[in-house]
Amino acid sequence: MNITDLQGTFKLHNGVNMPYFGLGVYLSEDGEEVINAVKWALEAGYRHIDTAAIYKNEEGVGKAIQQSNVPREDIFVVSKVWNADQGYDSTIKAFEASLERLQLDYLDLYLIHWPVVGKFKETWRALEDLYKEKKIRAIGVSNFLQHHLEEVMEDAAVIPMVNQMEFHPYLVQQELLDFCKEHHIQYEAWSPMMQGKIFEMDAFKAMAKKYNKSIAQIVLRWDLQKGVITIPKSTKKERIVANAAIFDFELSSEDMEQLDQMDKAHRFGPDPDNFDF
């Protein structure tokens, strides 16, 4: 694992290189807000943008990509199929609708957003077919625990390439991380800042002072050193730039361990085994 710079990548099990640092656009308003955020990120050197149908801002993301000077093939674009659209035929339609909103010919990665019981295996079959048709360069899941992954893998033709999970020092889920590593499923973090809670914690304040870095930079560096792709969200230009300034230092093994040991199995988001949306 080589963490070099903002445009560095981790190789997925199908050989596709996925930038290990990206911009998340959850809660970024469609229109000017998300267009600016994506353009600022691309100008700063980001090459990975993560959206989803439920975020209702795919159109803005697409416009920003078109307006930027970065060639489309250099940008890793991710979206996700929402729960209400799961099932084989409806997933295909949802994918085509996302492509249309984004004004793109293909996606780099498409994810199942949540493991909807009784539907996610059919949804996965649709993703496999879209992948075989080369409409998506890589396919994966989000919010899948080990038993969900095992259920998909029972009769999957293609093993998921990515699992995007809530991941931060209070929710490490090391066993799930290890399971994904064993099966060459790339782990990815959402909510790395614990919905802002990390900024109130003394341990992070002390570590930020030690490395002369911000608290956000400490936790994002921890993600990468754990081999976890991370997509911090922001709509502020200075924060988008600052979040990515994490390639000129390295956390010691002792500090990595200290952050690992903060694990409380505590979720700030919904439980993948108990969600009703």
Handedness of CA 122, 126, 128, 132 (dihedral sign): positive
Beta pairing class for 139-142 and 109-112: parallel
Contacts of residue 68, defined as CB under 8 A and 6 or more positions apart, other chains included, come to 38, 39, 42, 43, 75
- Could you tell me if 164 and 139 are in contact, meaning their C-beta atoms sit under 8 angstroms apart? no
**Known active-site residue 55:** yes
Tokens 């993703």, residue?
127
What is the CB-side half-sphere exposure of residue 275 using CA atoms within 13 A? 17
Rounded Cα–Cα distance for residues 277 and 275 (Å): 6
Rounded Cα–Cα distance for residues 128 and 106 (Å): 14
Per the structure block, which two tokens stand in for 79? 């979206």
Q: Of 46, 55, 110, 187, which one is the catalytic site residue?
A: 55
Task: Render 129-187 in DSSP notation, one character per residue.
Answer: HHHHTTSBS-EEEES--HHHHHHHHHS-SS--SEEEEE-BTTB--HHHHHHHHHTTPEE
What is the CB-side half-sphere exposure of residue 128 using CA atoms within 13 A? 16
- Would you please indicate which residues are annotated as catalytic (active-site) residues? 55
